[in-house]
Structure 1
Amino acid sequence: MKLAESAWLGVEIRHLSALEAVASERSFSRAAKKLGYTQSAISGQIATLERAVGERLLERGVGQSDATPTPAGHMLLNHAQTISARMHAAEADLSAIRDQRHATLRVGIYQSVGATILPEVVERLRDEAPGVRLELYEAGNERNLSDLVQAGELDVAFDVPPVRPASLHVAELLSDPFVLLLADDVPGRPDLSTPTLAAFKPCAAQAAAEDRLREWGVDPERILRLEDARAILTLVAERACNALLPRLAVGETALPVRRLPPTMPRRTVLLVWHRYRTVPPATATFVQIAQAVSAAYGAAA
């Protein structure tokens, strides 16, 4: 059957958005709240979509509220996510055309990158592309920045693995080792069972490093979790705790910094941008500069 004769012509973006929302929320009611519809509207959109594609896409739970994707639903979700990424990319590209005279580049950063790598990147970008205006979005840490790039709200962002959206280009910038900051500088391997150890909420590499430090007395369940590196450094300076941080987050400090064995897991710093967007010269220049600055920083670290 030709597409022009197919019921698939009745499939709309809002139907696919409803499917994505129900699948992620595992609930019609929560999906309705997320999208700003009534539950009956979401149910109607899913029913229309199922009729159009000729497959049952969701298994309904008790009371028609809970739902999980069927095998056909999972398959269509993969395509729906690609379509959604394309639509976000198209929206961002058209917005860029409207704002072209401003040559604005929206960059997502997190604290440790903003304090170390970014200043030189900005300085070199100003020299090489003086017409570009930067808008910086700073997150407490790297989480969720890649989601903002996928949604077209950022043009490029720093990130760490794993990067989930398949719609993103990923460039590895540098390998950032974890270090210990000690309240008391003792010789030999420190006993980290006391005082408390402070650290960020863990990415995959940090979780692996914390697990390896169990033999040093670390209990990951008892780690003090904070989002602000400056707050952690202040606590160590007051001898209230030891700390485990990526080297980039530490910067210049008078505190005792203990390197970990080279076999310890490291955090990889990435740069991500949208795979389906037209890459403007400003983004390409920023990526090249960030790669060069990171390579120099990594070699000097």
Structure 2
Amino acid sequence: MKKSLWSSIELRHFIALAEVGRTGSFTAAATSLGYTQSAVSQQIKRLETVVGQQLVERSGGAQPVALTTAGQVLVSHAEAIEARLASAEADLQALRDGVAGHLRLGSYESVGARILPHALKEFSTQWPHIQVVLEEHDDDEILLSHVERGELDLTFMVFPLIPGPFSATELLEDPYVLVVSDDSPLLHEDLPLRLDRLSELPLATYGELRDVHGIAARLGRPSLSRQVILRSNDNGTILGMAAQGLAVAVMPQLSVDPYQPGIKVLELERVSPRIVGIAWHNGRRVTPAMKAFIDVATTIAAQIKSRR
């Protein structure tokens, strides 16, 4: 049988055959489906023409009709097709309701290490059919631009927001700290450590980020930029420099691995914390899954704060 003929079969043909088999009557099948008897007969005839086999035993008179073996085989396939269509309908409904599909999420290293794994574990329990697609970048301005272009649904970020069509919620205050080697003379200083004690010390800090996140802007000491001997967006590299006594590191506390050997963390005097948040496009619909992830991230951030 030519494939082109099979491709002309419509779902209504299968449904008509299945209903004839179920009711044992062309008339009853037509009544059930809202067709005329002649319409049902034409659909069955079309099927038989395409498959090249008789599908219904027509006994004549008042005797019920029955499906032939070929008809039964075809109906079994028809039932599978209907089940797949019902599944497709349910999947699309779930997608429309926000309970299935993808959640595209932006993140950066410190959040990815300390908040994201716990949030994903809880979120996947609540929303098992949502696949989280992660995009990572050191610069939250780039992540926010991807939200604006519709390439991300949500992104972790640090306040203040850049100009744009964004809404955001605060998750956590993340204080800046000084990371030194475990034999540093600064360990004998009074805490919190005064910023003037950083004068002339070699510094390790982050690479290219928004200006507002730079060490000079964050500490209000433009001269500190001249003391930076290493810039890296890898927390492990910065902490390694501090552990070896090659530099002291000014970092958000969330970025510090508490199990890194050879380091100590010192509180800094009068340094405003960075405010970690999560942002989305304020011109697009916030799906239930997006809201659920925001709620989970907020809960995890609160747990981190309570342990400090």
Q: After superposition, what is the alpha-carbon deviation per residue over 1:237-270, rounded to whole angstroms, capped at 9, x for unaligned?
A: 2221110000011022341110112x32110101
The equivalent residue for 1:185 is 184
SS in 2 for 1:144: helix
One of 274, 279, 298 as aligned partner of 1:267: 274
Q: After superposition, what is the alpha-carbon deviation per residue over 1:108-140, rounded to whole angstroms, capped at 9, x for unaligned?
A: 000000000111100100111111101111112
TM superposition shift of 1:282: 1.2
Q: Is the 8 A contact 2:99 2:129 kept in 1?
A: no
TM superposition shift of 1:194: 4.7
Q: Is the 8 A contact 2:99 2:130 kept in 1?
A: no
Q: Is the 8 A contact 2:101 2:129 kept in 1?
A: yes
TM superposition shift of 1:147: 0.8
Q: Is the 8 A contact 1:170 1:271 kept in 2?
A: yes
One of 218, 239, 260 as aligned partner of 1:209: 218
**Aligned partner letter, 1:197:** L
The equivalent residue for 1:198 is 204
C-alpha distance in structure 1 between counterparts of 2:116 and 2:305, whole Å:
14
TM superposition shift of 1:176: 0.3
C-alpha distance in structure 2 between counterparts of 1:241 and 1:256, whole Å:
13
Are 2:91 and 1:122 equivalent residues in the alignment? no
Q: Is the 8 A contact 1:236 1:242 kept in 2?
A: yes
| Residue pairs, 1:219-234, within 5 angstroms | 219-223=224-228, 224-234=230-240
Q: Is the 8 A contact 1:197 1:241 kept in 2?
A: yes
Note the aligned Cα RMSD (angstroms).
2.4
SS in 1 for 2:175: strand
Q: Which runs of 5+ in 1 are unaligned?
A: 1-95
SS in 2 for 1:256: strand
C-alpha distance in structure 2 between counterparts of 1:128 and 1:162, whole Å:
31
The equivalent residue for 1:281 is 288
C-alpha distance in structure 1 between counterparts of 2:100 and 2:291, whole Å:
17
TM-score, normalised by the number of residues in structure 1: 0.61
Q: Is the 8 A contact 1:199 1:232 kept in 2?
A: yes
TM superposition shift of 1:208: 3.6
SS in 2 for 1:153: coil
Q: After superposition, what is the alpha-carbon deviation per residue over 1:212-259, rounded to whole angstroms, capped at 9, x for unaligned?
A: 5x7xxx622332322111111111122211100000110223411101
Q: Is the 8 A contact 1:111 1:141 kept in 2?
A: no
Q: Is the 8 A contact 1:107 1:156 kept in 2?
A: yes
SS in 2 for 1:182: strand
The equivalent residue for 1:92 is none
TM superposition shift of 1:102: 5.6
SS in 1 for 2:250: strand
| Residue pairs, 1:10-159, within 5 angstroms | 103-159=101-157
SS in 1 for 2:238: helix
User: Cα 1:165–1:207, aligned 2, differ >3 Å: closer, same or farther?
Assistant: same
Are 2:258 and 1:249 equivalent residues in the alignment? no
- Higher alpha-carbon deviation: 190-199 or 273-282: 190-199
Q: Is the 8 A contact 2:99 2:289 kept in 1?
A: no
Q: Is the 8 A contact 1:208 1:265 kept in 2?
A: no
C-alpha distance in structure 2 between counterparts of 1:143 and 1:112, whole Å:
16
Q: Is the 8 A contact 1:174 1:298 kept in 2?
A: yes
C-alpha distance in structure 2 between counterparts of 1:199 and 1:210, whole Å:
12
Q: Is the 8 A contact 1:110 1:140 kept in 2?
A: yes
**Aligned partner letter, 1:256:** K
Number of corresponding residues = 200
Q: What fraction of aligned residue pairs are identical, expressed as a percent?
A: 32
C-alpha distance in structure 2 between counterparts of 1:260 and 1:193, whole Å:
14
Q: Is the 8 A contact 1:147 1:165 kept in 2?
A: no
Q: After superposition, what is the alpha-carbon deviation per residue over 1:191-219, rounded to whole angstroms, capped at 9, x for unaligned?
A: 4345410111465254443325x7xxx62
C-alpha distance in structure 1 between counterparts of 2:220 and 2:99, whole Å:
51
SS in 2 for 1:143: helix
Q: Which runs of 5+ in 2 are unaligned?
A: 1-93
TM superposition shift of 1:166: 3.3
C-alpha distance in structure 1 between counterparts of 2:277 and 2:119, whole Å:
15
